[in-house]
Amino acid sequence: MLVQIGTLIAATSLVQLANGFFNTFLSLRLTTENFGPTLTGIVLSAYFIGFSIGAVGSGAIIQRIGHIRAYAAFAGMVVVGTAGMALFVSPLGWILCRMAIGTGCVGLFITTESWLNAKAPADQRGRIFSIYMVGTFLALAAGQLLIGKLPIVSLTPFFIIIALFALALMMVSATRAEAPALAPEASLPYGELTRQAPVSVIGCIVSGIVTSAFYALVPAWMARNDIPQATIALFMLVAVLGGFAFQVPVGKVSDRGDRRVVLAGLAIGFAVAAILIQLVPPRLVFVLPIAALLGGFMSTLYPVCVAHALDRMPQDRVVAVSGRLILVSGIGSALGPILGAQVMGQLDINGLLYFMAAAAIALAAVAGLRIRHRAPPEQMAERPFAIIDPLAAPISQEPEATDADGTPRPLPT
């Protein structure tokens, strides 16, 4: 059993290694294609559009054909999309391919996480999911290191990405693990979620906007200004590691008080860091610590939003809340590169940073207003906070959705 679980975690780490490299690589590659700001933004947003589509439909596919076949189908979709980008260099072709890649990636994450959730022993689930998320974070970080080692204007990066996804598929396809069943999901209208936890909904949108804009557009600006690839890779690596370092401390703080206060503090901290990085001398000794702060603040916005929403909703809505919020975040993520590219095209990198800072300040203002008008919940959610990486949030079943043997629990009546 543990060998099978280890295989799933290792395969997902390979997927995230490819994903972390792919996102930054594409941002740099687009600077050489002359698509223009609008089309560049749409290409970068297409992944998140596909991600949102997959978040809605992947569960039904898994239930219909099973986990192993679904994993193979989703991995195949990613491989075909990546190969298509290598073969057909055009705005429309890349938009369609990135949508397919986003849909396939979210399917891989849902398949893996629901599989892990069902097969992990009940008394070890927390540790297993912690190892899983640490692995994905470190793989995302390692993906940035490849940026400084490979030529951007060549087919080599595409081949490496395809090989990593194919290797993950081989590992999972060879496992003997039985395919688990998915738990039933309680219905949750978006209107009810918005009424009960408006700060979470707005926060997920803002989190999606600033995170996708940062990871998609900042490397592109650095490349256009002739900053060496190795320096770009180091900057992005520090941002990812900053996000990882913030997860546990922020989680502990948010579990002890009103999460809206924590959310407002994170948003203000991000805005201050986004402004500060424009004021310091352009030297790594000054810029890298601020990159870590930017990564830390923005990567913890989403998990705090999810935790706050879970505080406001009944226990049987845990799965539904997670699914709704990842879709909301996906919409924000799709908007981020499009809006950010337009702003950066007019006002350069300073405009982009001020745009992201303004979005964060707006979130802090909304959180402050809600703090004044509504008291915090008397009881926190039983599973209040989870480590979530900035580019691929866990969106599948929660551990509470199944029994120790992986059997889906019936919904409360």
Q: pLDDT at position 179, please?
A: 59
What's the start-to-end Cα distance of the chain, in Å? 33
Which of 7, 2, 1 minimizes the C-alpha distance to 170? 7
Please say if the pLDDT value at position 336 is more than 60.
yes
What six digits make up the tokens of 74? 């989703």
The amino acid present at 106, given as its one-letter code, is: V
Q: How far apart are CA 45 and CA 216, in angstroms?
A: 9
Banded model confidence at residue 380, pLDDT cuts 50, 70, 90: low
Rounded to an integer, the average pLDDT of 207-222 is: 93
CB 192: neighbour CB atoms within 10 A? Answer: 14
Please say if the pLDDT value at position 384 is more than 50.
no
* Spatial contact of 221 and 352, defined as CB atoms under 8 Å apart: yes
Tens-place pLDDT, residues 134-152: 788 888 888 988 888 888 8
Question: Cα angle vertex 271, ends 291, 288, to 5°?
Answer: 10
- CB-based contacts of 410, cutoff 8 Å, min separation 6: 184
Q: pLDDT at position 324, please?
A: 81
How far is CA 321 from each of CA 165, 210, 309, 314, rounded to the nearest angstrom? 29, 22, 7, 10
Per domain, the residue ranges of the chain are 2-401
More confident residue, 298 or 387: 298
Q: How far apart are CA 308 and CA 249, in angstroms?
A: 16
66 sits in the region (left: phi over 0; alpha: psi -120 to 50; else beta) called: left
Q: How far apart are CA 324 and CA 306, in angstroms?
A: 10
* Spatial contact of 13 and 138, defined as CB atoms under 8 Å apart: yes
Banded model confidence at residue 222, pLDDT cuts 50, 70, 90: very high
Q: pTM score, two decimals? A: 0.83
Over the Cα atoms of the chain, what is R_g? 20
More confident residue, 46 or 396: 46
| Highest CATH level, class, for 2-401 | mainly alpha
Q: pLDDT at position 120, please?
A: 67
Which of 223, 245, 336 minimizes the C-alpha distance to 296? 245
Which range among 2-16, 217-231, 297-311 has the greatest average pLDDT?
A: 217-231
